[in-house]
Structure 1
């Protein structure tokens, strides 16, 4: 604390290393989190941001699109007003104006057309760079370590040695021997890493495994070294999440929950499960491989399930957009109302909203049934019936929408940027299924990956502040 209130607050240094497994979105969110934390703990203090970058090189040896966008656009174009000085590998810039303190509560990143993101509607090979090196032999371990920014060859996840050269995209799926298509992993993590046709999915898994197994980095470190690290404010986590099941599908389920944000509803059986399994096997056959003579890996199958789910959702959305007639009530709002009813049976507002949604659904299904009769029998006598049912469906849908507007408040989660809502006086909840955000997902899932009704999302799903 500053003893003399007349003295200006001391400047603070913010540091982030953009590791090779971070893409633009993860790096931007982490930089924003560092900034907001510094502003909250040391308000008014001049902030100096230092950025290092590991890997993220293109075919010409320069920085790739993710790194350049962070350096040139995100830092200068978005964060610079809230900083006093920025230092990156390409430049050092000082803010010519006074540092601003009105930092936004939410960082929204919407960029669905990024070239390296896996297109789950198709199954091509996805590398980070469109022009990989055509070398035939694998690069030496030292060259890979240099690219990854490691002083010595150690596992990216647990910092243990010895290491193995792990293909990001396997050769059998079209992966190259370019140094950028390799990671250094210990034998254990090499055998756990996914074998898929999506480079970004591999790096995303490495990032997830670093969070999950971060405690392993301190194994074998002398107690004196740990004490010294903690004395300078470094938080050391020496225990990892409990893995409840050693069975294969238990590990797959755990990864779907922790890494991809699946909810219990996603595992529930039903008419969609057969289609999901069929799509899952399509993805497994077309876009995954085997390694170490292991036919199944939890990480590979979890990725295939996630891609299959997204493909089915895309197909369903396209079909609904193509159909004529009344618009189906908003799925997330219906799910939110039904979830609120389950968790708070006495919530009259949620019950009314869920009942209105069900009535609208019944009417819309009736429209589809009558239209099917007309199309199949090629008759026109039922057209008047269809018009009547359509009017009823439109009335019920409008009633649902009016009731939704009356009972439900909407906002954006300040932690992950996803839509949140509440019904009446109920707590704020995410409108859709759990987002791919560890911070928000932690509010609904316990350490063992199971649904925990006692951990309500209300503590994080809160509306953003407004600045005047």
Structure 2
């Protein structure tokens, strides 16, 4: 999109973002020139992103021209509530963050609701870092319950979809164009899909080109959709300037606008590579989050739970990288909160996820005559029963305050420790562990049973012997080119 008269005014306002201009003539040789700072709180920005960007703009201006009067101009697009006023995020940015927190570091503030001047001298002691900690924000997704999360708690119950013109007006666009690449034609994209409870309220729609519409996530979390749009705007920002006349680009450069007309080449990746790329770039996953191991089986099970309960399909696309990346992130949060819950329980004993026991149960199903596998399964069941009994008595003590139950609890806990130690001993005696010679992942076997993979390959099937079912278990009946086998040894 360019700044020509044929393009929307919203784009021209966006192009002026983070630019500086002189405001008033200097009173004297020593008087620094004023600096105007402009930011457009786009509809895809939530409080955290907008506050972070405003602080960054202010920090750069203070470093470039210390002491110069700073004038902040803030626009807000979208962010409307059921009554037609600004929603909680926009009000908090204007009233609390801009006027309250940033006010002392500015000379003048202009917002859609207020225009104010700082009665005190402008301060220059800006904090080095902006820390925003508010886990109970209104728009934070409750990943523990997997509910549908609309951006507005009281959406309009209209049955018909709004027109492109109505959606463009809400988004602050002069014409219907894609929010991400500023291209036309566009399609109406539900923020929360109708199949997940999304409404036909104009606030539940975005305008996207066909390409970005098919890439957008289909999830039950409105803020996740808008966060993805914001991420895609940064990723595909260079596409906004496709088809712009060279004279217009040269004019923008002369007035100090930095325009990137070319972006990094987007590789043609396999599906899981695209999911991995989005988890890293959008959700901040580190290499350790992709490491295989015992936890990966639990993550995959939780991932499928999230996919079944809080996502949908669109355009008959069974797999979307954006949808699956969100599901992996929510699954990771759910597991993390579950671990924290167990740790917060003090002396409660969590029932651990033992992939070796699951492997033993599969071995028993396929070869019922294997005594070693049956011994492992029986030991695991005895340990789990003792652990559950300890948790039950702990609940009795907490609720009824029975002092004599402490001795009962101590005895049950000792029994649980003995049975768990017996299970660990049997596991060490009966089960062999190694690495697969084909894919390098962990494998195990009970006695002389066939070698089986015990952990999922990170974000891919890896070795074809490591075939994961949708329910999170290995399917030994699948055809494969080879069986799991340990590396050869030479003596």
User: Would the TM-score normalized by the shorter structure come out above 0.5?
Assistant: yes
CA, structure 1 residues 6+168, in 2 after alignment: closer, same or farther (shift >3 Å)?
same
1:379–1:177 Cα change, 3 Å:
closer
Q: Determine if contact 1:54/1:149 at 8 Å carries over to the other structure.
A: yes
150-159 vs 233-242, which moves further: 233-242
Q: Which residue of 1 aligns with 2:158?
A: 135
1:37 is matched with: 60
Please name the residue that 1:171 is paired with: 194
SS in 2 for 1:13: strand
Q: Say whether residues 1:287 and 2:310 are aligned partners.
A: yes
For residue 247 of structure 1, the aligned residue among 270, 288, 294 is 270
- CA distance 1:116–1:188, change in 2 (3 Å): same
Q: 1:116 Cα shift?
A: 1.7
In structure 2, how many angstroms separate the alpha carbons of the residues matched to 1:146 and 1:4? 42
Task: Name the counterpart of 1:144.
Answer: 167
Count of aligned positions:
343
Q: Is the 8 A contact 1:144 1:183 kept in 2?
A: yes
CA distance in 1, matches of 2:190, 2:320: 15
Counterpart in the other structure of 2:142: 119
Q: Secondary structure of 1:51's partner?
A: strand
1:258 to 2:270 alignment: no
Take 2:186 and 2:268, find their aligned partners in 1: how far apart are those partners? 27
Is 2:247 the partner of 1:224? yes
**Distance across 1 between alignment mates of 2:127 and 2:410:** 59
Farther-moved stretch of structure 1 (225-234 vs 80-89) = 225-234
Report the Cα offset of residue 113 of structure 1. Answer: 1.1
8 Å Cα contact 2:387/2:413 also seen in 1: no
* 1:427-449: CA deviation from partner (whole Å, max 9, x where unpaired): xxxxxxxxxxxxxxxxxxxxxxx
Corresponding residue of 1:92: 115
Give me the whole-angstrom Cα distance separating, in 2, the residues matched to 1:245 and 1:155. Answer: 23
1:213 alignment partner, one of 197, 222, 236: 236
How many Å apart are 1:117 and its aligned residue?
1.4
Alpha-carbon deviation of 1:242? 3.5
**Following the alignment from structure 2 to structure 1, what is the Cα–Cα distance between the partners of residues 389 and 243?**
73
Alpha-carbon distance, 1:68 to partner: 0.5
Structural mapping, 1:30-429, within 5 Å: 30-324=53-347
Distance 1:192 1:374, change over 3 A: closer
Aligned-pair CA distance for 1:372:
6.5
Paired with 2:265 and 2:343, the residues of 1 have a C-alpha distance of: 41
Q: CA RMSD in A?
A: 2.7
1:265-288 deviations in Å (ceiling 9; x for gaps):
111110000000000000000000
* Deviation at residue 238 of structure 1 after TM alignment: 2.1
Residues 1:381 and 1:261: Cα distance change in structure 2 (over 3 Å): closer
Are the equivalent residues in 2 in contact too, given 1:153–1:161 (CA < 8 A)? yes
CA–CA distance in 1 between the matches of 2:97 and 2:234? Answer: 24
Give the Cα separation in 2 of the matches to 1:240 and 1:289. 31
Q: What aligned pairs does 1:423-442 form with structure 2 within 5 A after superposition?
A: none
State the alpha-carbon separation in 1 of the partners of residues 307 and 387 from structure 2: 35
The 1:94–1:4 alpha-carbon spacing in structure 2 relative to 1, beyond 3 Å, is closer
Superposed displacement of residue 235, structure 1: 1.0
How far 1:181 moved relative to its partner? 0.2
CA drift of 1:314 comes to 0.4
How far apart are 1:245 and its partner, in Å? Answer: 4.1
SS at match of 1:250: helix
How far apart are residue 220 of structure 1 and its match?
Answer: 0.9
Larger radius of gyration: 2
TM-score by length of 2: 0.66
Query: Structure 1 residues 196, 130: closer, same or farther in 2, change over 3 A?
Result: same
Q: What are the ranges of 5 or more consecutive residues in structure 1 without an aligned counterpart?
A: 327-367, 387-468
Rounded to whole Å, the distance in 1 between the matches of 2:208 and 2:413 is 66
User: How big is the shift at 1:112?
Assistant: 1.2
Deviations 1:236-295 (A, max 9, x none): 112223433421111111100100011111111100000000000000000001001111
Confirm or deny: 8 A CA contact 2:191 2:204 kept in the other structure.
yes
Q: 1:372 to 1:153 in 2, by over 3 A?
A: closer
Q: Hey, what does 1:16 align to over in structure 2?
A: 39
The structural deviation recorded for 1:222 is: 1.1
What is the alpha-carbon distance in structure 1 between the residues aligned to residue 291 and residue 39 of structure 2? 40
C-alpha contact (below 8 Å) 2:178/2:184 kept by paired residues:
yes
> What's the secondary structure of 1:7's corresponding residue?
coil
In 2, Cα distance between equivalents of 1:261 and 1:378: 43
Q: Specify every segment of 5 or more residues in structure 2 that has no aligned partner in the other structure, as ranges.
A: 1-21, 350-382, 392-407, 418-491
The Cα of 1:150 is off from its aligned counterpart by: 0.5
- Counterparts of 2:143 and 2:117, CA distance in 1: 42
Q: Is the 8 A contact 2:26 2:33 kept in 1?
A: no
* Structure-1-length-normalised TM-score: 0.69
